[in-house]
Amino acid sequence: MASGKPPDFNLFGAEEKVLAAAEGLERRVADGPEELRADVRALVEAYRRAVREQRRLVKVSDRLQGQLGTVNQELAKRTAEAEEALARLRDAQEQLVQTEKLASLGALVGGVAHEINTPVGIALSCASHLSDATAAIHRLFAADDIGVDDFQRYMDTAADTARLILANCERAAALIRSFKQVAVDRTTSERRRFDLAATIGATLDSLGPGLRQAGHTVTVACPAELMMESYPGALGQVLTNLVMNSVVHGYDQGVAGRLSIRVDQPDPVTVRLVYADDGKGIPDEYRARVFDPFFTTRRGSGGTGLGLHIAHTLVRGSLGGTLTVDSAPGRGTTFTLVMPVTAEERLSPG
């Protein structure tokens, strides 16, 4: 620091001393031959100039390093700003992902209601039929007009309706159980042990009404009892988004699609899930961008451009895997999801 420096400090003190000595030499040879004097004079002058040049060069060099320092500071500032902007963007993206998840949970609830309606409706009409038959046999019994045939018919009706009521109530209960698990998985994002085939089944059940209405069929080939230790909610969300992407973009109105899910294990610790549709395919110019956030060809008709991005983010994040796309116009679209059987525990799963 300046205060610790001797007040008479001179960066070029040594050079000035040499110069003074040279000038002394010049004076000492003043009486010598002219040729010698001229040579010494020239040497002293050259040295003087060399010292001046040295001073200038030090100045140039200091300036350059000063500028470099300023540029580095500016760079550090810009880097910090960019990082902050990136963090804000990630937060915003995360919020959008959560919003989108909630929206798809809403759709899920709609699907559930529709799906449960069928067995409940059957059970209800069976119960109503049993009630009517019971009232009729009750009247006959009260009038003491009951025959063996009447009683036999009633017994058959009661057995049939009770069986149907039981089966349909069991179906409804099973659906509710599976939807409950799907809903819990989607909202809590907890890692747990699950049967992959069952999770695929429950996810497709939740999508069932929409798929059936449009006439699409899904075939699943998944090894039984393939247990994973991962995030079933994330996986269900990924499958949902892939299927929805096919349904929304892959087929024109009235075209029935064939969707397929094939699961295999390239090695014991890895699961490969290949999801394919036989739809229109993705044009070359879009293919590289399908996982980009907010990339959509359907913004006007309600697309957010987040579906495949969320799928990609969940695969890369929670599931610890990779999601790749293969598609060509007219040849359908295939997504390949490769993930570990056991996902890493995450502090804040996406």
Partner 1 sequence: MERLTIPATERSPEVDFDFAGGRLSIRGESYPEDAAALFGPLFAALDRFLAASPGPAIRFDFELIYFNSSSAKALMNMFQMLEKAAEGGRAVTVNWIFAPEDETMREFGEDFSEDLSHVRFHLVATPPDGG
Binding site for partner 1 (CB under 8 A): 49, 52-53, 56-57, 59-61, 63-64
- Of the pair 61, 187, the CB lying nearest partner 1 is at 61
- What's the CA gap between 281 and 250, in Å, rounded? 6
What the block records as the tokens of 26 is: 């010049």
Backbone phi and psi for residue 62, each to the nearest 5 degrees, phi listed first: -60, -40
Write down the least CB distance from residue 39 to partner 1, Å. Answer: 18
Q: How far is the CB of 50 from partner 1 (least distance, A)?
A: 10
Rounded to a whole number of angstroms, the minimum distance from the CB of residue 64 to partner 1 is 6
Give the separation between CA 307 and CA 256, rounded to whole angstroms. Answer: 22
CB of 77 to partner 1, least distance (A): 22
Taking the complex as a whole, how short is the minimal distance between the CB of residue 58 and partner 1, in angstroms?
A: 9
Q: How far apart are CA 165 and CA 133, in angstroms?
A: 15
- Complex with partner 1: residue 58 or 256, whichever CB lies closer: 58
Which is nearer to partner 1, 32 or 66 (by Cβ)? 66
First vs last C-alpha separation in the chain: 52
Identify how many contiguous H helices and E strands the chain contains and give both numbers.
7, 7
Nearest residue (CB) to partner 1, 72 versus 152 = 72
Q: Do 299 and 281 touch, CB atoms closer than 8 A?
A: no
State in angstroms the smallest separation of the CB of 67 from partner 1: 8
Between 52 and 298, name the residue whose CB sits nearer to partner 1.
52
Going by the DSSP 8-state scheme, the letter that residue 319 receives in this structure is S
User: At closest approach, how far in Å is the CB of 42 from partner 1?
Assistant: 13
CA–CA distance, 72 with 77 (Å, rounded to integer): 8
Q: Where are the beta strands (DSSP E) in the chain?
A: 192-195, 217-221, 227-230, 258-267, 270-277, 322-327, 333-340
For residue 51, the minimal CB distance to partner 1 (Å) is 11
Paired with 333 in beta bridges are 277, 327
Instruction: Report DSSP state, residue 185.
Output: H
Could you give the angle at the alpha carbon of 226 between the alpha carbons of 179 and 238, nearest 5°? 50
Under 8 Å between Cβ of 133 and 154: yes
How do beta strands 258-267 and 217-221 pair?
A: parallel
Torsion 285-290-294-300 (CA) sign: positive
- Residue closer to partner 1 by CB (options 16, 170) is 16
Nearest residue (CB) to partner 1, 28 versus 59: 59
CB of 48 to partner 1, least distance (A): 9
Nearest to partner 1 of 38, 64 (CB atom): 64
Q: Quick one: 68 or 220, whose CB is closer to partner 1? A: 68
Given phi > 0 = left and psi -120 to 50 = alpha, else beta, which region is 87?
alpha
